[in-house]
Chains A and B, each alone.
Chain A
Amino acid sequence: MKDMNRTQRFEALVRGHSASLYRYAYWLCDGHAATAEDLVQETFLRAWKSMDQLQEHQAAKAWLMTILRRENARRFERKRFDIVDADLASLPELTPAFEQDLDSHELRRAIGQLEPGYRDPLLLQTLGGFSCEEIAQIMDLGKGAVMTRLFRAKKMLMDIVNPPQAEQTHG
């Protein structure tokens, strides 16, 4: 019975969080889809083994993201995979709306240019829906540092998407 509950709880975790985890992993792997899927599978394998550590269901997403980050770090400890960078800006769109299409295209291109240290908290905030406190916990940083990184990341994005006027005009 206990085992059944564990299996059902695990299945709920997979169904509820695998999409966000995959998208997060995708960016951590610089757009390499196969590596991202491997990373998500490894994450859930580890999560299954450590299910007893998860006390609160509400904390599941942060717990899984933390495991994924550790698995990603372990991947680099083991060996550096030959990752072929996909063109992060040229992914197929879900909407035919041209204006939104253009914005998303530009934004993804800009996100791809961010340093991982800035991109990471941004992804956790946007994909994970985490607060600065939660991101600080996941990344093992101070809340102030997280806020600074988020501020800089968004500022850089805005500058990439809409370059400051002085840089645009030259003659």
Chain B
Amino acid sequence: MDELELRRRCLADPRSTDPAFRRELAAHPAMQQAAAQALHLDRALGFALQQPAVPPGLEDRILLRVGLQQNRRRRRLALFGLAASLLVALSGLLLLAPQKQGFAQMALAHVYEEMDHLEHLPSAPVSDTRLAGLLQQLGARLDGPLEAVRFAFICPTPQGPGLHLVADGPDGPVTVLYVPGAQAAPGEQHFADGRFSGLTRALPEGGALALIGNSTASLQALDLRLRQQVRWKARAA
């Protein structure tokens, strides 16, 4: 290996473990200085390329998109069953007041969209720190642990950004959708289709909340925890 080649390899790949390169380097003290400088440059490059910061929520968005894609494929295969289910949902929702109908319908559609996620939830629960951070983004506050939340993500909805949670319930997963910019019919309204039970609540602080799950018991259990542990619109006067 001539000196030019050694110099080239020092700069290009100073970490190389190639025995011939290491041997030549050991035999040329002057080149060791060049190799040290090249390592210094590599470290500086590594530091510089830590920018930009990765957008918050990127991993969740990737998992969500892949889940949705999967769901679309499965939906095509199960078209008849789902169409029947949606028909039942639609006929039930038509009986509801117009405002509630919109919010409940949107929440239910959201759950069907993310059916695949409900079937393949991450095994690790979402940390309270992360939950508190997401709630804070929407002006709400977590006062105590919610427990057994398996998915948390800020989703775009037609009424603006909303917090989408999925938590374990006694009869399977329960989906929560909190949209600060949405309106729902006053008080608490219940609805159901062939598959899910749901409730919507217009929050006194503003915004609307929907819970959708396999049974009314599951909804009530989680609703109670939410009432105890979350202050919606904590920043409001």
Contacts and interface: CB of A to CB of B under 8 A. Distances in A.
Given A7-B120, A33-B52, A92-B51, A40 B58 contact: yes
Contacts of A125: 13, 42
B26 interface: no
Interface stretch (A11-19, A52-60, A67-75, A76-84): A11-19
Interface residues of A, number: 46
B221 interface: no
A41 B47 contact: no
A4 B120 contact: yes
A107 B70 CA distance: 41
Interface in B57-78: 58-59, 61-63, 65-66, 69-70
A66 interface: no
A18 B62 contact: yes
Given A45-B69, A104-B48, A127-B49, A19 B12 contact: no
B38 interface: yes
Contacts of A33: 52, 55
Contacts of A131: 13, 16
A41 B52 contact: no
Interface in A121-165: 122-123, 125-127, 131-132, 147-148, 150-151, 154-155, 157-158
A18 B52 contact: no
Nearest to B10: A151
Contact of B66 (A19, A45, A93): A45
Contacts of A157: 41, 45
B106 interface: no
A15 to B, nearest CB: 6
Interface of A: 3-4, 7-8, 10-11, 14-15, 18-19, 22-23, 26-27, 33, 37, 40-41, 44-45, 48, 91-94, 100, 103-104, 107-108, 111, 122-123, 125-127, 131-132, 147-148, 150-151, 154-155, 157-158
Task: List the 3 shortest-distance A-B pairs measured between CB atoms, nearest first.
Answer: A150-B12, A107-B48, A104-B48
9 contacts: A3-B120, A18-B62, A48-B70, A94-B50, A104-B48, A111-B45, A125-B13, A131-B16, A155-B11
Given A126-B49, A147-B12, A155-B11, 9 more contacts: A4-B120, A22-B54, A23-B51, A27-B49, A92-B53, A93-B51, A100-B47, A107-B45, A108-B49
